[in-house]
Amino acid sequence: MLGDDELNELQEEIKLLETQLRERKRELHEKRYAGLRTAMEARKDADQAITEELKALGIKAIRWNPLFP
């Protein structure tokens, strides 16, 4: 049988490994979606630039949905 000290050491090691696993999963998630996040930000900037250009041309509002042309 394992002694109390050995069990406590194993529990601490498990807690440490679980913490490391959570951190690595979070890093993986961030890296996996970084490209999408960048693309969405670029699209937002482009949409804002289009809106400003339309305002400069005197067009107040335009209803446009890229999914349903």
pLDDT value of residue 50: 87
| CA neighbor of 51 nearest in space, from 42, 62, 43 | 62
Which residue carries 């005197």 as its tokens?
58
Residue type at position 37: R
Domain count of the chain? Answer: 1
Q: Which domain holds residue 23?
A: 4-56
Q: Against a cut of 0.75, is the pTM above it?
A: no
Query: What mean pLDDT, rounded, does the chain reach?
Result: 89
Q: Looking at this protein, which amino acid is placed at residue 7?
A: L
Which tens digit of pLDDT belongs to each residue from 41-64? 999 999 899 888 988 988 876 776
**Within a domain: 64:** no
How confident is the model at residue 51, as a pLDDT? Answer: 86
On the question of pLDDT at 23 being above 60, the answer is yes
Q: Is 62 part of any domain?
A: no
Per-residue pLDDT at 17 exceeds 70: yes
